[in-house]
Chain A
C-alpha cells in the first residue's frame, strides 16, 4: 500500500507540482514578464504577459519539418530530453519550505541535469546538418565551458559553507537547514561575491542578451535552433522559459534558503515573486542596457571577473570565515 502511495506521489511530484506543469507555467509567466518589462524600458507598450503561452501553443499547432539531412530520431528526441531534464531539476530545488526529493548529493545531480539540457541543444543542433547550427553549437560549447567553471566554484563555496567544520555537504536539505539556523548566505559577507557571480551566471545559463552568442538571432539565425520548426521548436522555447525559473529558483535556494512562511500556498506565491524580482534584476535590466558580446569576450569575462568573484568566496569560506 505504501509503495503504491509513494509511486503516485512521485508521479504527482514530477508531472504536476514542482515538476513539469508548475515549472512550465511559472517559467512562461517569467518569460512574459521579462518581455513586458523590457518593452516598458524601451517605451513600448509591449506584448501581453501571456504572450509566451500564445507562442508555445501556436508552435504546437504548426507543421514540424524534419530536414532530409537530419537524423530523425536524434533531431526530434533532443527537445524531449531537454524538457525532461529541466522538469527533473525542479524536483531537487526547494520551493522555500517544500522539497520534493532530497538526497545527499542534490547539487551534483542539479549540475549534471543542467549540463544535459545544454548537451541536448548541442546534439539536436548538430543533427540538423545546417552550417549555421554548426557555428551555433561550437559557440554553445564555449559558453558552457565559460560559465561552468564559476558555477562549480560557487556550488563548492556554498557546499563548504553549509558543511561547516565537518566538510562539504551537497544536500539541499542541509544547505537550507544551515541557512535557517545561521541566516541566509545572501547576507553573509563572505558569500556576497559568490552571490554576485551567480547572478552573472544566470543570464549565460539561460542564454539571455549579452551572453546569447550561441543563439544570436541577427547573425546566425538562432544557431542550433535554425532548422527546428513546429512542436520541436516549441519544446525548446518552453525549455528556455523553464530554465529562467530553475536558475532563479536555484539562487533562491542557495542564497535565500531558510526563508519560509510555513504554509505551502504562501510559500509558492513568495517563491514565484522572488523569482520574478531576480529575473527583472539580472536578466531584463541587463538585456535592456547591453549589446551582445563576442564569444572570446564572453569567455574572458567569465574566466577572469566572474570566476575571480567566485574564487574570493571560495577562499574566504575555506579559511573558515
Chain B
C-alpha cells in the first residue's frame, strides 16, 4: 500500500511540473516563445505545465539569457530556493554559449558554470514546439530524480 502511494507520487512528479522563469539578460525573444507555449495554440497545460509565481512552488526552472554580471548572483540565489527534486532547462543559444553577447565585459556565461543544466534547448530563438519538447523531457527527468531521492 505504502509502496503504491510512493509510486503514484513518483509518477505524478512528471505529470504536474510547475515552471519558474528566470530572465538573465535575455533579449526577450525566448521569453515570448516560452509564453507562446502556454497560449491556446500550443497549450502546455494539457501536460500539467503551469507558470508558478514563486521559486518555492517550482519544479522546473527555465533560464533564458547569457547570464549577465548583474543577474548572476540573483540567479544562484533563486536556484537555491527551489525545493528538490528540481530540473533546470535553458532556452536559446545564450545560456549555452553566450551567443552574440560572447566576450562582452558584462556577460559571465555560460550557465553550465553555475548549475547543472538538465535540458538545453538550442536556437535563437527556439520554436515553441522545441521548447515544449524540452520541457516534456525535463518532466520525465523529474520522475527519475524523485525516484533517486528515496533510495
Contacts and interface: CB of A to CB of B under 8 A. Distances in A.
B137 interface: no
B54 A226 contact: yes
Residue among B13, B45, B56, B57 facing the most chain A CB atoms (10 A cut-off): B56
B94 to A, nearest CB: 25
B16 interface: yes
A60 interface: yes
B48 interface: yes
Contacts of B46: 39, 44-47
A58 B9 contact: yes
Interface stretch (B81-89, B99-107, B113-121): B81-89
A65 B45 contact: no
A51 interface: yes
Interface residues of A, number: 33
A187 interface: no
Given A57-B8, A58-B13, A226-B54, A64 B146 contact: no
A148 interface: no
Contact of B10 (A35, A39, A61): A61
A55 B16 contact: yes
A54 interface: yes
A228 B15 contact: no
A229 to B, nearest CB: 4
Nearest to A50: B15
Contact of B12 (A44, A61, A221, A233): A61
B144 to A, nearest CB: 13
Contacts of B43: 39, 44-46
A57 B146 CA distance: 12
A47 B57 CA distance: 19
Given A217-B53, A226-B53, A61 B13 contact: yes
Given A44-B40, A54-B12, A229-B57, A63 B83 contact: yes
Interface string B136-151: 0000000000100000
B78 to A, nearest CB: 12
A2 to B, nearest CB: 32
Interface in A26-48: 35, 39, 42-47
Contacts of B9: 57-58, 60-61
A228 B56 CA distance: 6
B53 A218 contact: yes
Given A57-B12, A58-B59, A61-B13, A222 B53 contact: yes
Contacts of A55: 12, 16, 48
Chain B CB within 10 A, most for which of A53, A62, A227, A229: A62
Contact of B16 (A54, A65, A222, A233): A54
Given A58-B12, A58-B15, A233 B40 contact: no
A218 B45 CA distance: 17
A224 B85 CA distance: 23
Contacts of B10: 61
A163 interface: no
A128 to B, nearest CB: 10
A54 B12 CA distance: 5
Contacts of B6: 61
A46 B15 contact: no
| A-B interface, 9 closest residue pairs, ranked by CB to CB distance from nearest | A221-B53, A61-B9, A63-B83, A57-B12, A54-B12, A229-B56, A54-B15, A44-B43, A54-B16
26 contacts: A35-B45, A44-B43, A44-B46, A46-B43, A46-B46, A47-B46, A47-B47, A51-B15, A58-B9, A58-B13, A58-B16, A58-B59, A61-B6, A61-B10, A61-B13, A61-B146, A62-B83, A63-B85, A65-B81, A217-B52, A218-B53, A220-B53, A221-B54, A226-B56, A227-B54, A229-B56
